[in-house]
Homo-oligomer: A and B are copies of this chain.
Amino acid sequence: MTNLKIVLSVLVLFNVFSLSAQTRKEINIPNIPGYQTLKCDFQMHSIFSDGEVWPTVRVQEAWREGLDVIAITDPIGYHPHNKDVNEDNNRSYEIARPLAEQTGIILIRGAELYRQMPPGHLLLLFIKNANLLRRENWGEFCEEVKDQGAFLFLSNSAEQTSSSWFPEQIRLLDNSILKGVEVYKHDRYFPVAGNMANEKNLTILAGSDIKGPSGLEFPEGHRPITLVFATGRSESAVKEALLKQRTAIYFGDTLIGNEKFIVPVFKNSIEIVNNNIILEDQGVKQIRINNKSDIPFYLHRRQPSVGFSCPEDIVLKPHSTTAVELYGLSGELNQVPVLKLFYIVKNILTMKGKELSVDLGIPNE
């Protein structure tokens, strides 16, 4: 009659995330002059709130999906699994951190706070201790946010979009506590939030807000991403960039941000190959535009070029080359050293929600 001994030693291996069997799909969005373009997701949950995965899964998913930076933002005090799971709000970070270090993912300590409107749901990054943020008293909470040096931004929901600024939010702004707004959450775009950010010079962010495995929530396409233009690949560089509004958001095929950043993202994404033919009257000059990024660009001509015609619409598919034909309409063309084309990019929006204007100059020699 044998005793029931449980074999544990060999099993430890089973639980290790075997990176060697995994591949990471990089997100191809180029760096811009002076900055690295980090791909970040600043809103997601784990089993320690209403999420459905162990914290390390968030790191594995981030690694596979090509992210550089994540924050697990389990809501403080909201814990539907509390019958079965410990209610310590620091655990998700503590558990995920070793795998983040091993895989090179920058893990930001974060949290969420579910408040009634106003001020509504709040997201916190770069905190030091999530449990200390669990305060009944709002003033004490604000003090604690300041003490921890946290970056606080508004999460978004239906109520927030229908309105403008609330006094409570203004007070957070005046006290230098509120520093950003989430313009895209999970599968919803909040244009009002973009206007609010633009008006008050706040940082814009996007978050997946995933509860289940990311592959179940985004079975096709990528999750919403915050692009952070950072001086380096470190937590402090990410914080500095967030505090200086050096972000853009990327969801579906849409990119939204300040022109300082989205123009160079577009320009560095494409390469124009010129075929050495001089465009002359009645002649044809073909150029090739190679889009090296993951983002398709939908160009629409916003005004005619001088002396030649060009297509009304151009689609630059990702990782593809598109041929663009220019037809000469003027006898003076062969003296024009640079042919200028004037387009908007329909799926890149500025902070004011307008389609980005881009000018392309083609050497004519």
Q: B-contacting residues of A (Cβ < 8 Å)? A: 1-8, 11-12, 14-15, 17, 19-20, 22-26, 47-48, 50-54, 56-57, 60-61, 63-64, 66, 75, 77-78, 80-81, 83-86, 88, 91, 95, 102-104, 113-116, 135-139, 141, 168, 211-213, 215-216, 219, 273, 275, 284, 286, 288, 290, 311, 314, 317, 319-325
Contacts and interface: CB of A to CB of B under 8 A. Distances in A.
Contact of A213 (B19, B213, B275): B213
A136 B80 CA distance: 34
Contacts of A113: 4
Contact of A60 (B54, B84, B216): B216
A185 to B, nearest CB: 11
Contact of A104 (B60, B275, B322, B324): B275
- This chain: how many copies in the complex? 4
A315 to B, nearest CB: 8
Contacts of A75: 6
A139 B1 contact: yes
Among A6, A135, A317, residue most surrounded by chain B Cβ atoms (within 10 Å): A6
B284 A212 contact: no
B215 A321 contact: no
Given A136-B4, A212-B60, A288 B24 contact: yes
Nearest to A324: B20
A22 B54 contact: no
11 contacts: A1-B139, A4-B135, A11-B114, A15-B80, A15-B211, A23-B317, A48-B84, A53-B53, A84-B86, A84-B91, A85-B85
Given A54-B81, A211-B14, A64 B24 contact: no
